Amino acid sequence: MSYGLFAVAVLRTEHLSATFRRITFGSPRLADLVWGGLDQRVKLVLATADQLAGVPGDDDWFEWWRSLPDAVRPPMRTYTIAAHRPGEGEVDIDFAVHGDSGPLSSFARGARPGDRLLLVAPGPGAEPDVGVAWRPASARRLLCVGDETALPAIRNILGTLSADQTCDVLVEVPDASDPCALPTAAQVRITWVVRRPGEAVGTRAEAVMFGTAASPSSPGEADPDLWEEATGTAGDRYAWVAGEVAWVNRLRTHLATRGYTGANASFMGYWRSGFPSRG
């Protein structure tokens, strides 16, 4: 088995900040989950009670999900496990809540103990790195850039780094209460950028990185030192970028001109402004 199906229930919830709500899900079967950490992707399927009762086994779930008529197919979205406690049969997922515009954000906003859904995650026999995009090989000079949806992955990644690695981290979040501790053994420089209300995702982060703000509210904030050090000419470097699709695509273009290509960079669109995810 690679990815398997885990029927889980909400055990408890915690408000971490204005944006983030942590939900702890439980099931005795979560002892069998093979969590690779880092930015490993998992899926949440918001099935109805009837669907939960009729869901097939691990090998058949995707065909089952895909074969359902559009009108009743349960929403499926991608998330990052923030913590796995196999002994307790628990996982934490940190949701960046964005109102009720999406089914999973709405679920996270109103979740109560006992609410049930399906978690699709690596099961027994899975390679621990299945679904992991973080591939720095032997690079020691690292760059991690993301928006709020990438913060759980960035926190996981930083927790694995060693003292002989350096990492420039830039995270753009919606609210001043969102920055959090990012424990790591590496030498890091962490830049938090707080988006202004109504500002497009990434605008302020780009202003800080490149000094080329699209928004007139941002000039003068560029940190050329951050950029120079992160993109120096040494070959021993790797960039990881995740967040809103249009922003990630702009960063891909910028970073390609500075030597970050498919070989030493990973670019992931985590969500697309104005469009629901397709699962």
Ligand X SMILES: Cc1cc2nc3c(=O)[nH]c(=O)nc-3n(C[C@H](O)[C@H](O)[C@H](O)COP(=O)(O)OP(=O)(O)OC[C@H]3O[C@@H](n4cnc5c(N)ncnc54)[C@H](O)[C@@H]3O)c2cc1C
Q: How far is the CB of 215 from ligand X (least distance, A)?
A: 17
Q: How far is the CB of 220 from ligand X (least distance, A)?
A: 27
Residue whose CB is nearest to ligand X in the complex, by number: 102
Closer residue to ligand X in complex, CB, 98/135: 98
Q: How far is the CB of 103 from ligand X (least distance, A)?
A: 4
Closer residue to ligand X in complex, CB, 102/259: 102
Helix residue ranges, H only, the chain: 49-54, 61-67, 103-110, 151-160, 203-210, 224-230, 245-256
Closer residue to ligand X in complex, CB, 84/141: 84
Question: How many Cα atoms occupy the beta-carbon half-sphere of 275 within 13 Å?
Answer: 10
SS3 content of the chain, % helix, strand, coil (to 5): 25, 30, 45
Q: How far is the CB of 130 from ligand X (least distance, A)?
A: 13
Q: How far is the CB of 12 from ligand X (least distance, A)?
A: 18
Q: By the criterion CB under 6 A, which residues form the site for ligand X? A: 41, 75, 77-80, 94-96, 98, 101-105, 149, 152, 270-277
3-state SS assignment for residue 44: strand
Closer residue to ligand X in complex, CB, 141/154: 154
Question: Three-state SS across 209-276?
Answer: HHCCCCCCCCCCCCCHHHHHHHCCCCCCEEEEEEEEHHHHHHHHHHHHCCCCCCCCEEEEEEEECCEC
Closer residue to ligand X in complex, CB, 91/223: 91
